[in-house]
Structure 1
Amino acid sequence: MTMNKLERPIELAKTDPAPDTGKRKDILDGARRVFRAAGFDGASMDKIAAAAKVSKGTLYVYFRSKEELFEALVQLDRKDAAEQIFKIEDHDADPKEVLLQLGERFVKLMADPDHIALIRMVIGAAEKLPEVGRMFFEMGPCFGIEQLATYFDGQVARGRLMKVGEDTTMAATHFLTLCQGSITKRLLFGLAERPTDAEIRATVESGVRVFLRAYAPDCV
């Protein structure tokens, strides 16, 4: 039996992202608008070409398929974001201050309308493009947890957080969950407006307070 187009397995590009030339950037910007407005299923190369103001021939010079274009868009929108958020330069600083600053950077990204739109796009396409979902998860949440766990390992060695042998990966997961509170979920479901910096700060402070009660040395 012949499979229809949607049933055929999709092979995504495994090469590194190409340089963002002006034309390529125009295409990605157009694709972003189309994917956000129509979703993955509703988007087409025709619509993307029109939004980017290029011919279909030019579009296919840069991207062989809608799937490849979507993957490139996710890579671009995730590029360097996690590294910037979870970069900790002073490992000797007070852990509470480090966590407050990191938590605010993290939640501000999570609450950004463009990031919320990206999450929705990836979730909407994940069933047909599981590799993109996996890539998004590994470039974002997994990378952040790993970086934070490494920081916690160093703080454990200094006797400033947790006990030796504590699961720092689980601790990192707890921390990121506590910092978000209900902010991200409410935004994803369209139940709230973007929070103010003061609201984000209050949520993060609450999360850090609970985290330290569980993991600070004098509480374990």
Structure 2
Amino acid sequence: MSTIMHEVPSTEDGAKEGTDRATGGRFAAGEDPAKREQILDGAKRAFMKYGFDAASMNDITREAGVSKGTIYVYFQNKEDLFSALIEREKGRFTESLRHIMAGRTDTRQALRDYGIAFVHQICDTDFIQALRAALGVVDRMPNLCQSFLINSPANARAVLAEFIDHQCRIGALKIDDTELAARQFIELATGNFFKFKLFGEMKTRPPESEVERVVDSAIHLFLAGYGTDKTR
């Protein structure tokens, strides 16, 4: 790891990356979003295949189809690359949830759609595999694991908290601490699936009927505690 973190990018590679758009019509070094995505896609394949610690920068360059110097134009080291990858994947999921919840006023169905989408993220994507990789480096990179949980605009829980806030304003829910309520709903809707998947007890994907049963039960409990006459 120490050799990886201290390699110096080739200036030749950096020069090849691009010229100022005003003069050459190309992106300046380190500013081409398509190239950045290409590197992140390659890093994702390498990390998923070998794990964070075992994946080398050579593995990443091979998967991304770029030179090592080009990677260093965009990212300082492997840790920086991994952090950026986590933020990208989290951002994509958050945006998909934001789209699901945008403009929704139907409390029960909106919670159902959110819960099912969250379970699908756990069961049908490499989310858990990425989380395991992050947990494997928690002692060296504590901020990386915290980024899975931090409450920010680019966080799936924040999307739910915003929806709950709106539902409280229109009288559909009565909640003093919407942040706590958002955490509670996510735990109710995804808790067993999350833990079973994380610890390898879930060998096959649960049937959709089971996903819906668990999410519907979560909604029932959530509205029993926080609902009003409009939603109970």
TM range (shorter): 0.7 to 0.9
Quick one: distance in 1 between partners of 2:61 and 2:135? 24
What are the equivalent positions in structure 2 for 1:9-24 lying under 5 Å apart?
A: 19-21=32-34, 23-24=35-36
1:44 counterpart (56, 63, 67): 56
Residue 102 of structure 2 corresponds to residue 89 of structure 1: yes
Residue 142 of structure 2 corresponds to residue 130 of structure 1: yes
Across the aligned residues of Structure 1 and Structure 2, the Cα RMSD in angstroms comes to: 3.0
1:187 counterpart (184, 188, 197): 197
2:130 counterpart (107, 118, 130): 118
Deviation at 1:140, TM superposition (A): 7.8
- Distance verdict in 2 for CA 1:18–1:210, change over 3 Å: farther
Deviation at 1:208, TM superposition (A): 0.8
- Distance verdict in 2 for CA 1:140–1:185, change over 3 Å: farther
1:170 counterpart (158, 175, 180): 180
Q: How many residues align?
A: 204
2:83 counterpart (65, 71, 87): 71
Aligned to 2:218: 207
TM-score, normalised relative to structure 2 = 0.74
Residues 155, 161 of structure 1: 8 Å contact kept:
yes
Residues 152, 158 of structure 2: 8 Å contact kept:
no
Quick one: distance in 2 between partners of 1:71 and 1:18? 18
Quick one: distance in 1 between partners of 2:76 and 2:170? 51
- Distance verdict in 2 for CA 1:104–1:18, change over 3 Å: farther
Residue 66 of structure 2 corresponds to residue 54 of structure 1: yes
Deviation at 1:178, TM superposition (A): 0.5
Deviation at 1:152, TM superposition (A): 2.1
Quick one: distance in 1 between partners of 2:197 and 2:224? 28
Deviation at 1:130, TM superposition (A): 2.0
Q: CA deviation digits over 1:114-144, x for unaligned, max 9?
A: 1122211222223212222233323789833
- Stretches of structure 1 lacking an aligned partner (at least 5 in a row): 9-16
Aligned to 2:40: 28
Q: State the structure with bigger RCO (CA 8 A, min sep 6), 1 or 2.
A: 1
Secondary structure of 2:185 counterpart: helix
- Distance verdict in 2 for CA 1:144–1:32, change over 3 Å: closer
- Stretches of structure 2 lacking an aligned partner (at least 5 in a row): 6-29
TM-score, normalised relative to structure 1 = 0.78
